[in-house]
Structures are given as structure tokens and as C-alpha cells.
Amino acid sequence: MNYKNGLTRISILAASMLLFACATPQATFAPTPATATFITPSLVNTPIPEPATTQPADVIFHNGVVLTIEASQPQAQAVAIQGSQILAVGSNADILALGGPGTVVIDLQGKTLMPGFMEAHTHYLQNSYFAGKSLEELMSNLVRFGLTSETEMHGNREFIDAMLAAEDSNQVIVRTNIFAQYNYSYLVNEKTVIDPAWYVDNPPILDPSHMVRIPGVKFFVDGAGTPDRGCPFDSFPFPSTVTDAWPEVWESCRTPNGELYLDEAQLTSALQTVQDRGYRASFHVMGDASANITLNAIETVLDGRPNSMYRHQIQHNSLLSPEQVQRYVQLDVIATVPSMFDTCNADTYLPIYGEGYYQWSVNRYTLADLGAHVSAIGDWLGGDVNLLNPFRRLYGLVTMRQWPIGGSVCEPPEWIAKHKIGVERALEMLTIEPAYTVSMEDYIGSILPGKFADLIVISDNPLAVDPNQLIDLQVSMTMINGKVVYCAVGAGAFCPSTVPSNTNAIPFGFTDIPVPGETISGTIEVAGWALDEIRIDRVEIYLDGQLIGNATYGNSRPDVEHDYPGRPGTPNFGFIFILDTTSYSNGSHIIGAIAVNSSGNRGPLIPGELTITINN
Ligand SMILES: [Zn+2]
């Protein structure tokens, strides 16, 4: 047990919060009655309580496998929680001794408890916000997957303002960090568009007690291999064999070496400005030449000072030479890597990059064992919410296999397989390392006295299961700030008293066909899946906002069952609606599908608005 040390840490935490709050004009703590039903209002905007060393714990978890993600005490049996913070971690006997008459004691029955996961680079909230999703639904999806923190890696002004307002009305239950955009992710008239958002008028929001923080600024340095974005910027031209594997290459690449959005002088100057304003910078970098330019800019602006003071970070790092990898280590630049490599396309890397370079696409994974700060990212852009699942990402890192949603597993060839990452390190890359990217490593990301009680109970111990089964692990309970925000069906024994009612669950799912942009004629099927923590009552189908009927619900979907075992009605999550397009005019229309559960709660299925063209 580390009780004494815990008291010190709680004091430090309280003291730092005061300092941060003073330096942050946005600290508009104005608690208003929560209107959302999923969250507990006291979760947010509650002052951190004074250390109550003589008070008993509010909650104790014991008789479990506690994975702390702390080198000094990697495993323990029990954890005590007081208010929003971890009070102590240690043996069953030591922790149970901290209980009192009002303590809620949870017997984990050998289950594993660990820190909540953090997604270090996603677009889930912003893209879903602009798709018209409710924040309540988005938050409930995140906590269902054990995600207690996330980083939106590209925020425009409207989204940032919306999230800050949402925090003021207590709607943000998952810690959300937003990097304000510097330039667009895509080219307009073959040029980058600089659109400095939000950070030009505001200092960063770094207060660790805020649920919405704005710690950084995001730069797009090169392309991404799509026609609107251009190509990654490489030091060598794509070889002639590129067209074998990537026939559309010339629609994407304007030059044989790809596209550079900002040259080294522009990048250095912009980074200096951002750093001087107190922000960290994050760079979209996919080519090796753009990595060099970015590393040069960072080295110049750091001017000999350690990057641990500033936390500048490079995203993707898709193609790195072995020498460049060493430079990341020397500069202590934070790197992120995809957590499930593109293994299913392994055969295309040789023709796209050529013999001398194709293996550079996995060199970034060596950073994990070289003492560099590396986070594993999901980079959700759209589509299936299952892509948020951190256990898919843990599986990807540890096995280097790829298991696409709805597809079958792809085995890595040796040049990829040799970069498999150990389970302990992979867990760090999904918890404490992402916390470090936003300077939250003293507050979240591991189980240590004084940190926020952001914890999850999971179905099995990732250090003990076969690596192939990591993808099957499930979240039983998610806690943020010491309060339960998710309790899985059948897991009530692991959830302390403040359990949100399942009647507040919101249905979710996916419309598989037709696909967005499809041209359809005659009679077609509209089909997909929907499920919930409680039973689905019906799936309503809309055309241009008008209800046109209910789908047939209850077809077997074993693929969905794999990702959501044990949900009511399993595995019959599928729906089908027969649409006679001849009853409607030719031209563009919008199809929508909404699932309604037995409590009457309604959830639009992804994509929320599916635009198709009828052509009879
Ligand atoms: Zn991204």
C-alpha cells in the first residue's frame, strides 16, 4: 500500500488546480442543473474536495487483479476511492481497513480493474457533432468502451465553442482534449488553407479538473493519399510500380514526391508563435521528408530546451528511416502510431514504396521499445463505433494482426510481425502515454493515490489471456471522477451504488446498405443492425425526414454478436426494409434509420443521414 505517498499527491493535486485555475480565464465554473439523463450531475464542475485523511473511503474495490500501469507497483489487489480521487491502492487487508460504515465495498471476484483507456487522436466527437449526433449518445458510446478520456485532434472554432458550452451545462462526462486547428486537412486550389481557430484569441485551457481542455494546436504538414488531401511528402518519388497497387495514385499526388502543405520556414515560424502562446503543437506527418522538416522545426524552436516542457508531438509517422527513429528519441518528440496496422494490405507496400523503403512503414513501432513517448491511436473518422474499442487496438499492437470490422483476420508477414509490442507496453500506449501527450499524466492514466478515480473493470486479465483473445475482452464497469458512468448488463455486482439506470440507454447501430452516395433503382433493401443494453422495440426508416415504415428486425448477425456478446436478443440484431424506389422522384434523397428501445429511447443509426440518388 502507498497510503502516505497518496496524501502528498492529493495535496499536490489540489494545489496545482488552484494554480491552473488562476491562469485560465475560461474557468467559468457555473454549475447548472443537468438536463441530460445519462450522467450524474455531480460528476463535473465539482470542486476537488480537501484531503479528508481521517474520513473512510467512499468506495473500495477488493479481491481483484489491479493493473496499475505504475512500474513501482504494477499489480495490487484492492483500491480505495474517496470523492473523485484514488485514496489508496494495495493489498486486500490494507485497503479494507480504510472502510467505514458508509463505504460501498465491491468484491471484484478476481476480475481485473485498471485505469480507464484514453484515445490520443480521434475525430469521433467533432465528426459526429457535425453529423448531428447528440453528445449524450457519443459520451455513452465512449464509456461503454472504457474510454474515460479522449483527444479530438482537429477542432474548429464552432466545435470548440460547442464543447465548452456543453461542459458548462454538465454534458461532458468523458475528459475531452481538443487541439485547435491551424490549417485545413485538405487542399483548396492545390494550396493549404490557414484558418487559425480559437487559439489566436484564447490562452490554452490546461486546468486538469476541466472536462474540456484546449492544450494544443494541430498542423497538417503533408497529404494523406486521397485526392482532396494529396499525398504524403517523401524524400523519394513513388516508383513506377506504384500504379500496380494504387491505380488512382496520380489523382492523389500532384508531384511524384507528394504534397508539402507548409515549408520548413513557415512551419518553424508558426510553431514559434504557438509555443509562445503556451500551446503544444501536433503535426500530421505521413511522409519521411515531412517528418524531417517537422523535426527540424521542433529542434529549432525548442532551442535546446527539453520537449518535456512543451510536449510537441508528431502524428502517424507513416514512413520513417531507422535514423529518423533515433532522432525522435534524441529530441524526445512524442510520436503516435496506429494501433491496428494495415496488415490486410501488406502486399501493397512493396509496389507502392519500392524495395528500399516499404519496411519504413513499420519502423515507427520500434519507438515503443526505445524509451520514446509513444501513444497508440484509433483516429476514428467515421463509420462503425466499434472502431473506438480499445481492446481491438490492444489486440492490433500485440499481434500485429488486422481484423477489419465485418472482415476476417489478416496475419502479418515477418517484416510486420517482428514489430509486435508486449501487452504491458501496449497498455501504457493506451493509458498513461496518451495522458502524457496532454500533460495529464499526474492526474489520470494509472492507478496511484491522488489521481482521479477514472477506472474500469474488465472481463479478464489482458496479461493472462491468449493474445488472440485480447479483442474479445469486455468492459463491465466504467468510472470517471469516482462515479459509475457505465455498468454492463449482468455486471451490477461490480458497479458501486451510483449506477445509471439501463432505461437511459440509447440504441445504436449501423446502416450497411445502401452505402452513402449510391445510385439506386427499382426495389432495394435498406439493411443494417441495431442493438442496446435493453431490447430493441423497432427500427424506423425515414426518407427525406418522413417516416415511411418500420423495418423487419431480428435477423441473425453473428458478426455483430462477436463485438457485442450478451446483449438482449443476441445474435438477432439485423434489420431489413424493402424500399420501392419507384414510389419516389428521381434525384437525391436522404435515408435515415432510427432504432427505438423498449424504454422508448431513440438512437439514429450511423450514418445519420445517408444520401442516395434514385434513378429509375
Ligand atoms: Zn486524424
Contact call for residues 14 and 460 (beta carbons, < 8 A): no
Distances (CA, A) of 572 to 350, 550, 564: 42, 16, 11
Is 457 domain-assigned? Answer: no
Q: Is the domain of 65 the same as that of 122?
A: no
pLDDT higher than 80, residue 231: yes
Q: What pLDDT digit, counting tens, does each position of 540-596 carry?
A: 999 998 999 999 898 888 888 776 766 777 788 999 999 999 999 999 999 999 998
Residue 536 lies in a domain: yes
Distance 379 CA to ligand 1 centre (A): 5
- Terminal C-alpha separation, the chain: 72
The neighbour count for residue 358, using CB atoms within 10 Å, is: 18
HSE, CB side, 13 Å, CA atoms: give it for residue 504. Answer: 18
The CATH number of whichever domain residue 53 belongs to comes to 2.30.40.10
- pLDDT of residue 42 exceeding 80, the answer is no
**Is 562 domain-assigned?**
yes
Q: How much is the pLDDT for 26? A: 27
Each residue's pLDDT tens digit, 506-524? 788 889 999 888 999 999 9
In this structure, of 197-201, 358-362, 400-404, 458-462, the range with the lowest mean pLDDT score is 197-201
Report CA(485)–ligand 1 centroid distance (Å).
27
Where does the pLDDT of residue 40 fall: very low under 50, low under 70, confident under 90, or very high at 90 and above? very low
Distance of CA 152 from the midpoint of ligand 1 (Å): 8
CATH code for position 356: 3.20.20.140
pLDDT at 566: 61
Q: Is the pLDDT of residue 8 over 60?
A: no
The one-character DSSP state at 328 is H
Asked if residue 29 has pLDDT above 70, the reply is no
Q: What is the mean pLDDT of the segment spanning 48-61?
A: 71
CA distance 255 to 173: 45
| CB-CB neighbours of 501 under 10 Å | 11
Q: Any idea what the CATH number is for the domain that residue 585 is in?
A: 2.60.40.650
Using one digit for the tens of pLDDT, what is the confidence trace for 412-429? 999 999 999 999 999 999
348 C-alpha vs ligand 1 centroid, how far in Å? Answer: 22
Q: Do 483 and 576 belong to one domain?
A: no
pLDDT of res. 36: 23
pLDDT band of 497, cuts 50, 70, 90: low
CA of 433 to the centre of ligand 1 (A): 17
Mean pLDDT of the chain: 88
Cα–Cα distance for residue pair 425/398, rounded to 1 Å: 9
Task: Report if residue 399 sits inside a domain.
Answer: yes
Domain that holds residue 44: 3-115+464-500
| Beta-ladder partners of 576 | 527, 552
429 exposed, middle or buried (CB, 10 Å; 0-12, 13-18, 19+)? Answer: buried
CA of 567 to the centre of ligand 1 (A): 31
Give the mean model confidence (pLDDT) for residues 444-453. 97
Q: How far is the CA of 166 from the centre of ligand 1 (A)?
A: 23
**Could you list which residues have their CB under 5 Å from ion ligand 1?**
153, 379
Instruction: Dig out the grid coordinates for 364 from the structure.
Output: 515507427
Shared domain check, 171 and 305:
yes
Centre of ligand 1 to C-alpha 284, Å, is 8
Give the Cα-Cα-Cα angle 90, 91, 92 (nearest 5 degrees): 125
Over residues 103-161, the pLDDT tens digits come to 999 999 999 999 999 999 999 999 999 999 999 999 999 999 999 999 999 999 999 99
Nearest partner of 110 among 496, 493, 562, judged by Cα: 493
Where would I find the beta strands (DSSP E) of 263-388?
280-285, 313-316, 334-338, 374-377
The strand pair at 147-155 and 117-122 is best described as: parallel
Q: The C-alpha cell of 192 is what? A: 493549404
Give the per-residue pLDDT at 502: 46
Give 288 Cα–ligand 1 centroid separation in angstroms: 18
Cβ 457 vs Cβ 67: under 8 Å: no
Confidence at residue 303, expressed as pLDDT on a 0 to 100 scale: 97
**Residue 326 CB partners (closer than 8 Å, separation 6+):** none
CB 180 within 8 A of CB 198: yes
Q: What pLDDT score does 505 carry?
A: 66
pLDDT level of residue 479 (50, 70, 90 thresholds):
very high
C-alpha 612/C-alpha 590 separation (Å) is 6
Expressed in angstroms and rounded, the spacing between residue 413 Cα and the centre of ligand 1 is: 26
Q: How far is the CA of 102 from the centre of ligand 1 (A)?
A: 45
Average pLDDT over residues 62-70: 98
| Cα 121 to ligand 1 centre (Å) | 6
Q: Is 509 helix (H, G, I), strand (E, B) or coil?
A: strand
Our count of domains for the chain comes to 3
DSSP code of 370?
Answer: T
In a domain, 398, yes or no: yes
Supply the pLDDT for residue 515.
Answer: 87
250 and 109 in a common domain:
no
Other CB atoms within a 10 A radius of the CB of residue 616 amount to: 11
Q: How many CB atoms neighbour CB 155 within 10 A?
A: 29
pLDDT, tens digit, 9 for 90 and up, residues 283-308 = 999 999 999 999 999 999 999 999 99
Report if residue 458 sits inside a domain. Answer: no
Task: Decide: 406 and 344 in contact? Cβ < 8 Å.
Answer: no
Supply the pLDDT for residue 308.
Answer: 97
Q: Do residues 216 and 361 share a domain?
A: yes
- How confident is the model over 322-378, as pLDDT tens digits? 999 999 999 999 999 999 999 999 999 999 999 999 999 999 999 999 989 999 999
Cell 425515414 maps to which residue?
Answer: 542
Whether 455 is in a domain gets the answer no
User: 3-class DSSP state for residue 284?
Assistant: strand
Residues 395 and 246 in one domain: yes
- Are 210 and 340 members of one domain? yes
Residue 422: exposed, middle, or buried by beta-carbon count in 10 A (0-12, 13-18, 19+)?
middle
Burial of 58-84, coded b for 16+ CB within 10 Å and e otherwise, reads bbbbbebbbbbbbeeeeebbbbbbbbb
Helix, strand, coil percentages in the chain from 3-state DSSP, rounded to 5: 30, 25, 45
Ligand 1 centroid–CA 122 distance in Å is 6
In angstroms, the CA 583 to CA 610 distance is 18
Three-class secondary structure of residue 575 per DSSP: strand
Coil, helix or strand at residue 304: coil
Residue 22 is predicted with a pLDDT of 29
Domain co-membership, 305 together with 406? yes
Ligand 1 centroid – CA 390 distance (Å): 16
- 237-246, 250-259, 362-371, 489-498: lowest mean pLDDT where? 489-498
Across residues 489-505, what is the average pLDDT?
Answer: 69
Q: Are residues 104 and 148 in the same domain?
A: no
Are 238 and 360 in the same domain? yes
- Rounded Cα gap, residues 604 and 608, in angstroms: 6
Judge if 512 and 392 occupy the same domain. no
Q: What is the pLDDT of residue 50?
A: 39
Q: What is the pLDDT of residue 501?
A: 43
Among 481, 500, 519, the domain boundary falls at 500
Q: Output the pLDDT for position 568.
A: 72
Residues 106 and 163 in one domain: no
Residue 215 maps to a domain? yes
